[in-house]
Amino acid sequence: MATMLQPQIILLKEGTDTSQGKPQLLSNINACTAVADVVRSTLGPRGMDKLIHDEKGNTTISNDGATIMKLLDIIHPAAKILVDIAKSQDSEVGDGTTTVVLLAAEFLKEAKPFIEDGVHPQNLIRSYRTAGHLAIEKVKELAVSIEGKSLEEKKSLLANCAATSLSSKLIGGEKDFFASMVVDAVLAIGNDDRLNMIGIKKVPGGNMRDSFLVNGVAFKKTFSYAGFEQQPKKFVNPKILLLNIELELKSEKENAEIRLSDPSQYQSIVDAEWNIIYDKLDKCVKSGAKIILSRLAIGDLATQYFADRDVFCAGRVTEEDLHRVAAATGGTIQTTVNNVIDEVLGSCEIFEEKQVGNERFNIFSGCPSGQTATIVLRGGADQFIEEAERSLHDAIMIVRRAVKNSTVVAGGGAIDMEISRYLRQHARTIAGKSQLFINSYAKALEIIPRQLCDNAGFDATDVLNKLRQKHALPSGEGALYGVDINTGGIADSFANFVWEPSVVKINAINAATEAACLILSVDETVKNPKSESAQGDAAASAMGRGRGGAAFRGRGRGMRRR
Amino acid sequence: MVGMGMPAYGIQSMLKEGHKHLSGLDEAVLKNIDACKQLSQITRTSLGPNGMNKMVINHLDKLFITNDAATIVNELEVQHPAAKILVLAGKAQQEEIGDGANLCVSFAGELLQNAEELIRMGLHPSEIIIGYAKAINKTIQVLEELVEAGSDTMDVRDTNQVISRMKAAVASKQFGLEDILCCLIAQACIQVCPKNPANFNVDNVRVTKLLGGGLHDSKIVRGMVLKSDAVGSIKRIEKAKVAVFAGGVDTSATETKGTVLIHSAEQLENYARTEEAKVEQLIKAVAESGAKVIVSGAAVGEMALHFCERYKLMVLKISSKFELRRFCRTTGAVALLKLSPPNPDDLGYVDSISVEEIGGVRVTIARNEEGGNSVSTVVLRGSTDSILDDLERAVDDGVNTYKAMCRDSRIVPGAAATEIELAIRLKEFSLKETGLDQYAISKFAESFEMVPKTLAENAGLNAMEIISSLYAEHASGNARVGIDLEEGTCKDVSTNSIWDLYITKFFALKYAADAVCTVLRVDQIIMAKPAGGPKRDAPAGMDED
């Protein structure tokens, strides 16, 4: 230790890393800008995709901001905040993840010169907060309600929202096709919407247009035993029994043991075991159900037994699917076959097993409660379908939010330009430093139309100037003008059906402002050395959690699905 | 290690190799002071509403972004023994009051810095200690005189009065958001305030953090919010009785390992059936007792769940013992250990339990609007985990302030007005002292300038100007003039209603002075060689590979 000659003061543990002051703040801003540069080019309909190759060798092609941010594995503490806001946007609204990261980074970038000039960050923060608040109020004011329209009208309105979201994705070419599919799916699950009631099944092969929506449930044929072929594969108005037990010849309980004094009784025990399983099977059939699904295995004996009685069965159905079938058909999952009453059986109009690609699919359609929908996705490569699934997820979320909040704003950068104009105008009424800060906030908002142009290969400055002129018209008629991605000029976004639910914008502005303020408010980083024992603890607790909970079940399920 | 290369002499020769031994003014006292100063410098920039945040990454790699001094010093892993005394003072303040830890640490740092000057002047530490002790006694006396007249009685159920007292504490954590936050905190606290406010339990105000949205979407729930889904398919129920089973809802199994012996075919066939019947009987009995909701503290067996669905019972699982206890408090239920038919007295009641989706997370909300509402929850929304954590700390501080004001509702002017007044009065007092401690008392008085100075510096204002104009105002008799940070001028705090709780100030100053005296009293440090030194790094290095 160097304490011998010149005893220095060790306040903190050895290995602790501290950095502070203005350089620290600037380096945080730089880190955030660097992260935003990665996702920058994915924005908008002409955005490019990213191919990410992770350490396990999985390849992901994506254009979804949240997915990219998640896979980037960022360790810089300040830049991590951007990952967090992307996640938050994803969970709150599901789309606009790139937007939120971009906005936050741009706010910071605009703040940088001020910090360098010695402005106290708190002054900036206060102005940014005010500006963010004003911007949100303005979005709310500009939003157009779609409440009270007829179902047909509403459907087309929602489809527009979905199409706007999809147009920036890989499947943008087929956006109308998928938009209507997504809207149907979301409307099908009704008001008590639960996202997991919309299933998305991926089948490689075919092309995108072969994708279809099942108004009910569909899942891939499960592993089956001999005798399965003899079972009927199509039913009209069948009764469905959902089970959570094994229909196999097996010991009843692990801790039971049989001791016999009389060898002649041995046969009776064997018979008894057979009786138990036959009894179960008999009860299943007697319940009147024509389709029997179980989360656990249905053995070959049972398969044969059901085949003989013209009953369809499928074992090892994943729990998700089983719950979905339960919700769709109105049945409840049974853990025992005793006392199966009619009430617990589900029903649907048509059940059939169909060939999709090179997979067989069990499809339940025309379900009475109708609270489920399944989208079967087709397409070429695995990565392609994965990305399509993510895109559909975004679109579904967008439509769900639009249904809930039912206000929309013009997309294509129109709303951003309008808020920017409004804030600039507002800034002029402020005396003091705050004027500059709100102006720079307004300027940062222009990043959205600017990036849209850059990504599409247009001259951003040119388009932006045109937009500014339109929005500055005193009559306010230009308020809905945004970037026209087809011609490279400007167009009325609202009339062209480029719509976004207002909640997406509100949340994006809110989150981006919060994150920017948070990063600006940090002037010191202290990094403690990692403690080894703690690391072990963390790993152990993570494992412990995994063992007990969903991860365990997940493992079992995941293997069979792929 | 100090002894290495040097001939062992004096105390060094008595100790085992590897000991560190520091003594005397230069080696021990001044070094200690220096270390404490460094610590207080870290926290100082976080003082006040315009304080900056710190990013602290602790040894578990968890990121904290906060300006809450208690959190910062807690996560810093301070090693220096003298600086640790300051940390302990901060912690004591956090535990006693729950707020004002920064004032405590920063003020102690300032006191020590001034003590250093005195030591360099030639004063002996013991004289400084005597002076400081006199000064703190006088301070407490003066502080009592500064208490706002008529503030000693308050209605702790009046939202406005509560907010006015809480605002300063919350604003120093989340400036600009204090109006929204105070309103939420005050409502939550008042809801659960018992008949005798002195019995207010901080634990009864819960915070649930949900990612997404913004602070404006935060709300208060009268009851509890559980971050999990209901187990069964019933997701919503209203005006229901609740049965709570701490031991899980499942078939009873023996703890001792046992084997069931089966002697005949009949027994084998009936084995499964009897078990099933037993579960059904139990669940049926619960359902017949009038309960509509079953809350389990442990696993819910599949068979049991099946029958719960059959009897239309909603099933919730709360695995945390603490959460379960709170749930019992919310609903007034008695947790039963074993799955058995509950007595009517043991059942709790909720107005509604429903599973709702907030920000992509499914949460179960148990509401109890009237009567027995002993728990309320603040649902915080924010865009990142670190923002949420920081908001939670602000809420905690607010709740603690509420608790403190339930004990003692007296207030003193905030925004550094009190500090300046104390400085002036102490200065006067010091002149009347005859001994050498006069110097110490006058330095103690000067130390109070740290608060307005830091507040002004953190807000980007000219500190010297502010302090001199504050002195001028106070000298002319305006004892309530403090800094208005938004305008950067000096103003009577009563116009902006910035008040600090007397009790917070009292303890912060007292703990700071005590800690300082302790640090000054040390003249020798003997540190034993840390056990198992070199082993530390090796495994860590392996981990990285």
pLDDT digits 0-9 by tens, B159-183? 777 787 777 777 777 777 777 888 8
List the Cα angle B228/B234/B239 in 5-degree steps: 95
What is the C-alpha separation between A299 and A227, in angstroms, rounded?
Answer: 10
> Residue A396's closest CA among A263, A198, A540?
A198
Hey, are the CB atoms on A92 and B211 less than 8 Å from each other? yes
What is the C-alpha separation between B386 and B66, in angstroms, rounded?
Answer: 8
CATH architecture under which domain A15-143+408-519 falls: Orthogonal Bundle (1.10)
- B458 close to A (CB below 8 A): yes
Contact of A354 with A361, CB cutoff 8 Å: yes
- Regarding predicted confidence, which is higher, A438 or B181? A438
Indicate the residue of A4, A123, A514 with minimum beta-carbon distance to B460. A123
pLDDT grade for B17, boundaries at 50, 70 and 90: low
Can you name the residues that pair with A407 across neighbouring β-strands? Answer: A145
The chain A residue lying nearest B486, using CA atoms, is A123
User: How many residues are listed for chain A in this entry?
Assistant: 562
Give backbone dihedrals phi and psi of B484, rounded to 5 degrees, phi first. Answer: -100, 105
Give the residue-averaged pLDDT of A542-555: 36
Give A488→chain B minimum CA distance, Å: 34
Distances (CA, A) of A3 to B28, B79, B83, B536: 14, 15, 18, 19
Hey, are the CB atoms on A87 and B536 less than 8 Å from each other? no
- Reading the block at residue B191, the tokens are 């809801």
Neighbour count for residue A301 (Cβ, 10 Å): 17
Contact of A375 with A158, CB cutoff 8 Å: no
**Which parts of B439-543 are beta strand (E)?**
481-484, 489-492, 499-501, 524-527
Indicate the residue of B176, B260, B268 with minimum beta-carbon distance to A269. B268
pLDDT grade for B12, boundaries at 50, 70 and 90: low
What structural domains and CATH numbers belong to chain B?
13-149+413-527 (1.10.560.10), 153-208+373-409 (3.30.260.10), 223-254+263-372 (3.50.7.10)
> Maximum Cα–Cα distance for chain A, whole Å?
103
Residue B464 has pLDDT above 70, yes or no: yes
Burial class (CB in 10 A: 0-12, 13-18, 19+), A254: exposed
Hey, are the CB atoms on A255 and B539 less than 8 Å from each other? no
Give A277→chain B minimum CA distance, Å: 10
**SS3 letters for B150-209?**
CCCCCCCCCHHHHHHHHHHHHHCCCCCCHHHHHHHHHHHHHHHCCCCHHHCCHHHEEEEE
Neighbour count for residue B520 (Cβ, 10 Å): 24
Hey, are the CB atoms on A276 and B360 less than 8 Å from each other? no
Using DSSP's 3-state secondary structure scheme, residue A432 falls into coil
Rg (chain B; Cα; Å): 30
Neighbour count for residue A390 (Cβ, 10 Å): 20
- Regarding predicted confidence, which is higher, A192 or A320? A320
Looking at residue A479, the DSSP 8-state letter turns out to be G
Hey, are the CB atoms on B261 and A257 less than 8 Å from each other? yes
Indicate the residue of B264, B265, B384 with minimum beta-carbon distance to A518. B384
- A7 close to B (CB below 8 A): yes
What is residue A161's predicted lDDT score, i.e. its pLDDT? 81
Give A268→chain B minimum CA distance, Å: 6
Against a cut of 0.90, is the pTM above it?
no
pLDDT more than 70, % of chain A: 87
Residue A343 has pLDDT above 60, yes or no: yes
Hey, are the CB atoms on A523 and B54 less than 8 Å from each other? yes
What is the C-alpha separation between B75 and B67, in angstroms, rounded?
Answer: 12
Indicate the residue of B63, B75, B265 with minimum beta-carbon distance to A272. B265
What is the C-alpha separation between B53 and B44, in angstroms, rounded?
Answer: 11
Contact of A473 with A449, CB cutoff 8 Å: no
CATH architecture under which domain A149-214+373-404 falls: 2-Layer Sandwich (3.30)
What is residue B536's predicted lDDT score, i.e. its pLDDT? 45
What are A218-246's pLDDT values in tens digits?
Answer: 888 887 777 777 788 888 888 888 888 88
Among B59, B84, B252, B306, the residue to mutate for chain A (most A Cβ within 10 A): B59
Residue B510 has pLDDT above 50, yes or no: yes
Indicate the residue of A93, A526, A530 with minimum beta-carbon distance to B56. A526
Hey, are the CB atoms on A255 and B38 less than 8 Å from each other? no
- B357 close to A (CB below 8 A): yes
CA B288 to chain centre: 44
What is the C-alpha separation between B32 and B27, in angstroms, rounded?
Answer: 8
What is the C-alpha separation between B114 and B446, in angstroms, rounded?
Answer: 8
What are A490-534's pLDDT values in tens digits?
Answer: 888 888 878 888 888 888 888 888 888 888 888 777 777 665 544
What is the C-alpha separation between A82 and A73, in angstroms, rounded?
Answer: 12
pLDDT more than 90, % of chain A: 1
Please report the sign of the dihedral spanned by the C-alpha atoms of residue B408, residue B413, residue B415, residue B416.
negative
Using DSSP's 3-state secondary structure scheme, residue B127 falls into helix
Contact of B186 with B159, CB cutoff 8 Å: yes
> Residue A85's closest CA among A508, A448, A444, A445?
A508
- Reading the block at residue B531, the tokens are 């056990």
Hey, are the CB atoms on B50 and A272 less than 8 Å from each other? no
- Reading the block at residue A531, the tokens are 């403690």
pLDDT grade for A370, boundaries at 50, 70 and 90: low
Please report the sign of the dihedral spanned by the C-alpha atoms of residue B293, residue B299, residue B303, residue B304.
negative
Equal fold, A15-143+408-519 vs A216-251+269-368: no
| Chain mean pLDDT for chain B | 78
The label of the residue with tokens 């039971």 reads: A256
> Residue A185's closest CA among A216, A154, A149?
A216
What are A460-479's pLDDT values in tens digits?
Answer: 888 888 888 888 888 777 78
Hey, are the CB atoms on A528 and B303 less than 8 Å from each other? no
What are A158-215's pLDDT values in tens digits?
Answer: 888 888 888 777 777 777 888 888 888 887 776 655 666 778 888 887 777 788 888 7
Give the residue-averaged pLDDT of B455-461: 78
Contact of B377 with B184, CB cutoff 8 Å: no
Spatial CB neighbours of A316, under 8 Å, sequence gap ≥ 6: A222, A223, A294, A295, A296, A297, A298, A560
Residues 389-408 of B with CB under 8 A from A: none
Element containing residue B91 per DSSP (H, E): helix B81-96
Q: Are strands A216-220 and A359-365 parallel, antiparallel or unpaired?
A: antiparallel
What are A146-164's pLDDT values in tens digits?
Answer: 776 677 777 788 888 888 8
Give B486→chain A minimum CA distance, Å: 9
What is residue B542's predicted lDDT score, i.e. its pLDDT? 38
Element containing residue A327 per DSSP (H, E): helix A319-329
Indicate the residue of B58, B233, B306 with minimum beta-carbon distance to A528. B58
pLDDT grade for A47, boundaries at 50, 70 and 90: confident
What are B259-303's pLDDT values in tens digits?
Answer: 777 777 777 777 767 777 888 888 888 888 888 888 888 778 777
Among A255, A260, A523, the residue to mutate for chain B (most B Cβ within 10 A): A523
- B75 close to A (CB below 8 A): yes
What is the C-alpha separation between A317 and A294, in angstroms, rounded?
Answer: 6
Provide the angle, in degrees to the nearest 10, between the axes of the packed helices A77-92 and A97-116. Answer: 140
> Residue A499's closest CA among A65, A87, A88, A95?
A95
Between 3.40.50.620, 3.30.565.10, 3.30.70.120, 3.50.7.10, what CATH number should domain A216-251+269-368 receive?
3.50.7.10
Spatial CB neighbours of A2, under 8 Å, sequence gap ≥ 6: A8
What are B72-117's pLDDT values in tens digits?
Answer: 877 777 777 778 888 888 888 888 777 778 888 888 888 888 888 8
Segments making up each domain of chain A, as ranges: 15-143+408-519, 149-214+373-404, 216-251+269-368
The label of the residue with tokens 């010191």 reads: A524
Contact of A111 with A516, CB cutoff 8 Å: yes
What is residue B530's predicted lDDT score, i.e. its pLDDT? 62
- A342 close to B (CB below 8 A): no
Contact of B185 with B399, CB cutoff 8 Å: yes
Indicate the residue of A11, A272, A524 with minimum beta-carbon distance to B83. A11
Residues 245-264 of B with CB under 8 A from A: 257-264
- Reading the block at residue A457, the tokens are 């290969």
What is residue B9's predicted lDDT score, i.e. its pLDDT? 59
What is the C-alpha separation between A122 and A520, in angstroms, rounded?
Answer: 8
- A84 close to B (CB below 8 A): yes
pLDDT grade for B15, boundaries at 50, 70 and 90: low
Spatial CB neighbours of A460, under 8 Å, sequence gap ≥ 6: A449, A450, A451, A453, A454
| Interface ipTM | 0.72
- B298 close to A (CB below 8 A): no
Indicate the residue of B35, B176, B233 with minimum beta-carbon distance to A129. B176
Indicate the residue of B309, B359, B459 with minimum beta-carbon distance to A92. B359
Residues 171-200 of B with CB under 8 A from A: 175-176
Amino acid identity, residue A403?
V
What is the C-alpha separation between B105 and A59, in angstroms, rounded?
Answer: 51
Residue A14 has pLDDT above 70, yes or no: no
What is the C-alpha separation between B47 and B415, in angstroms, rounded?
Answer: 11
What is residue A243's predicted lDDT score, i.e. its pLDDT? 84
pLDDT grade for A285, boundaries at 50, 70 and 90: confident
Neighbour count for residue A551 (Cβ, 10 Å): 13
List the Cα angle B454/B460/B465 in 5-degree steps: 70
What are B214-251's pLDDT values in tens digits?
Answer: 777 788 888 888 888 777 777 788 888 888 888 777 77
Give the residue-averaged pLDDT of A383-396: 83
Among A88, A255, A338, A547, the residue to mutate for chain B (most B Cβ within 10 A): A88
What is the C-alpha separation between B395 and B174, in angstroms, rounded?
Answer: 10
- Interface size A-B, in CB pairs within 8 Å, comes to 235
Using DSSP's 3-state secondary structure scheme, residue A237 falls into coil
- B284 close to A (CB below 8 A): no
> Residue A220's closest CA among A247, A245, A201, A239?
A201
What is residue A83's predicted lDDT score, i.e. its pLDDT? 85
What is residue B372's predicted lDDT score, i.e. its pLDDT? 56
